[in-house]
Structure 1
Amino acid sequence: MVKRWMLCGWLMGLGLAAQADEAASLRDAYAARAGVSAATLIPEGEQLFRAGGTGERHCTACHTDDPTQDGKTRVGKRIAPMAPAANPARFTDPAKVEKWFGRNCKDVLARACSDREKAAVIAWLMSLETRK
């Protein structure tokens, strides 16, 4: 007989796996539209996250240098970690992903992000692990 707590743990594991699959599917869809392999984009994603932007605007201004940790908006509102390892719900809702890439790319790069850039950022963030 399966213990109730074991069943709950197994179901939670399935939920986390499904969320990781969603993020990977989104990353791979962007990469396919860009005609590249997502695995090759990890360094490009880190570069874009850390150094991309114009003037004072860059991703780390709100999301911090460590995307496994909370960030803050310019008005001090908490932003959940960007790395899926620290925030399994990240990159699971395509509409939200498009909304935030649209808004943040315009703020940071003064233009829309390309599919390649979106795939690169997601690939890098998915490669990060949380600190113990």
Structure 2
Amino acid sequence: MKAARTIVLIVLGTLALPSVLLAGDPAAGKAGWTKESPQSDGSAARSCVSCHGRDLTQPGRQVNTGKVIKPLAPSVNLKRLTDPAKIEKWLRRNCRWTLGRECTATEKADFIAYIKTQ
């Protein structure tokens, strides 16, 4: 059976461009979530799991600061994925830190679709 696709609104930063609707793929989001990316500074490879963990219903911990990260799963944290500006801010910041680049719109849609399944 083919996985359902979730329609996700991606806010394109502060550009005055129309918003884009993309169908996110939760399976692709999960694969990207766990994929480790080598770091240009020689530090340990990172993935989203490094800070957020595999179980998004549980708190995570930022690996550098030790700061607790509230669960990402909307099923246990009703504030998650409700503010497009925050979603864009954190995806931009976390993609740069983890992948060493900004995520594509498709990657963002896939990550959001995956998080929504939790």
TM-score after normalising by structure 1 = 0.67
Alpha-carbon distance between aligned partners in 2 of 1:104 and 1:37, rounded to the nearest angstrom: 21
The 5 A counterparts of 1:5-20 are none
Equivalent residue, structure 2, for 1:45:
29
Q: Which residue, out of 55, 62, 79, partners 1:66?
A: 55
Q: Which residue, out of 95, 98, 102, partners 1:108?
A: 98
Tell me the CA shift for residue 53 of structure 1.
Answer: 2.6
Q: State the superposition RMSD in angstroms.
A: 1.9
Q: Which residue, out of 88, 93, 96, partners 2:78?
A: 88
Determine if the alignment matches structure 1 residue 127 to structure 2 residue 111.
no
Give the letter aligned to residue 20 of structure 2.
R
Alpha-carbon distance between aligned partners in 2 of 1:102 and 1:83, rounded to the nearest angstrom: 19
Cα deviation, 1:39-81, whole Å, max 9, x if unaligned, reads xx01000001111533521111110111110001122111011
Give the letter aligned to residue 93 of structure 2.
R
Tell me the CA shift for residue 100 of structure 1.
Answer: 0.8
Identity %: 36
Cα 1:52–1:119 shift into 2, 3 Å: farther
Cα deviation, 1:90-111, whole Å, max 9, x if unaligned, reads 1111111111111110011111
Q: Which residue, out of 20, 24, 27, partners 1:33?
A: 20
Give the letter aligned to residue 85 of structure 1.
S
Give the letter aligned to residue 84 of structure 1.
P
Higher CA-based Rg: 1
Give the letter aligned to residue 33 of structure 1.
V
Q: 3-state SS of the aligned residue for 1:28? A: strand
Name structure 2 gaps, 5 residues minimum. Answer: 1-5, 11-18, 40-44
Give the letter aligned to residue 87 of structure 2.
V
1:67–1:82 contact (8 Å) kept in structure 2: yes
The count of corresponding residues between Structure 1 and Structure 2 is: 99
Give the letter aligned to residue 60 of structure 1.
V
